[in-house]
């Protein structure tokens, strides 16, 4: 049962489920999209999350109890079977086991569950893989849904579109790092992320993204309309690359000419939930056709 809470005078927080899953994330998308369409007076901002959402409102224009009643009505009447998601499939090149994130993570082994291994080796072991190469293959074999954007501007939380029993899961560090490189590719819980900028962090570090997901200067074509690239509902395919391709991509990024390989797609949540393997194969076929 959903939980509705007041957040001061201007916010309503709604937790649809304590547990994250594709179905509840699609439900949050559906409810918040319907709320946007209705253009209620007094709604200032709508922020969907993994298994929840938050609404900022003007209490001089709409009473919080009236808003909660409206949100409860949407919870009861909005069905994920009725929505279509307009999205992009995106090829995201990742240099796994790279020297920069390895250097960073080795500085903080005293904060890690297993000080004697790298993050990749540790994650492979606790997920039952015989090697880090097998883990990398499992990460890159199936695409991910960008379930929310947050923590810092543009950071995509990505949930792999596979059956629950195949989900890769890792804990965060025992204590967070004080340094994480820009564009570091990490994993925490069941979520893959890319750190947009240098900063602190506690996710296991597996590699580095070749291209930015945040560009303050907005030089590249993909950033002309926004400082950030990912959007909720995007489908990311993390693709393992070697150093030579990484360096070529970095050259085009520095020139301001790099563009992500993307394909537009419209899909129904039912397609994903009923046959995640078939949906993944279709997505990858479209992206690289």
Average pLDDT over residues 87-91: 96
Q: Are 190 and 168 in contact (CB under 8 A)?
A: yes
d(CA 276, CA 138): 15
Give residue 131's Cα distance to chain centre: 25
pLDDT for 1: 80
> Average pLDDT, whole number, for the chain?
94
d(CA 236, CA 258): 17
Residues 165 and 194 in one domain: yes
Q: Are 190 and 159 in contact (CB under 8 A)?
A: yes
Given pLDDT bands bounded at 50, 70 and 90, which one contains residue 152?
Answer: confident
pLDDT for 83: 86
Residues 73 and 94 in one domain: no
pLDDT for 132: 97
Q: Are 199 and 181 in contact (CB under 8 A)?
A: no
Domain that residue 126 falls in: 86-287
Average pLDDT over residues 158-185: 94
Secondary structure of residue 35 in the 3-state scheme: helix
Instruction: Kindly report the CATH number assigned to the domain that includes residue 74.
Output: 3.30.1360.40
Given pLDDT bands bounded at 50, 70 and 90, which one contains residue 151?
Answer: confident
Residues 72 and 52 in one domain: yes
The proportion of the chain whose per-residue pLDDT surpasses 70, expressed as a percent, equals 100
Q: Which of 80, 113, 139 is the last residue of a domain?
A: 80
Q: Which of 48, 80, 112 is the last residue of a domain?
A: 80
Counting the structural domains of the chain, the total is: 2
């Amino acid at each position: 049962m959903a939980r509705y809470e007041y957040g001061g005078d201007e916010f309503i927080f709604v937790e649809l489920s304590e547990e994250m899953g594709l179905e509840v994330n699609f439900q949050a998308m559906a409810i918040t999209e319907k709320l946007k369409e209705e253009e209620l007076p007094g709604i200032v901002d709508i922020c969907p999350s993994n298994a929840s959402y938050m609404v900022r409102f003007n209490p001089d224009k709409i009473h919080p109890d009236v808003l909660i009643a409206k949100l409860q009505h949407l919870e009861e009447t909005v069905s994920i079977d009725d929505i279509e998601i307009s999205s992009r499939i995106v090829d995201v090149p990742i240099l796994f086991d790279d020297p920069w994130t390895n250097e960073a993570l080795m500085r903080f082994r005293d904060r890690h569950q297993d000080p004697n291994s790298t993050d990749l080796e540790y994650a492979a072991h606790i997920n039952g893989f015989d090697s880090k190469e097998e883990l990398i293959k499992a990460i890159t074999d199936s695409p991910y849904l960008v379930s929310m954007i947050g923590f810092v501007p543009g950071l995509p939380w990505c949930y792999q579109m596979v059956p629950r029993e195949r989900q890769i899961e890792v804990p965060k560090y025992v204590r967070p790092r004080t340094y994480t490189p820009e564009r570091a590719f990490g994993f925490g819980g069941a979520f893959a992320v890319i750190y947009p900028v240098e900063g602190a962090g506690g996710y296991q570090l597996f590699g580095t993204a070749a291209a930015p997901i945040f560009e303050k200067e907005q030089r590249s074509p993909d950033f002309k309309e926004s400082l950030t690239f990912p959007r909720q509902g995007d489908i990311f395919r993390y693709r393992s690359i070697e150093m030579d391709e990484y360096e070529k991509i970095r050259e085009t990024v520095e020139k301001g000419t790099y563009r992500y390989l993307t394909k537009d797609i419209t899909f129904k949540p039912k397609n994903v939930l009923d046959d995640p393997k078939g949906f993944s194969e279709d997505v990858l076929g479209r992206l690289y056709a």
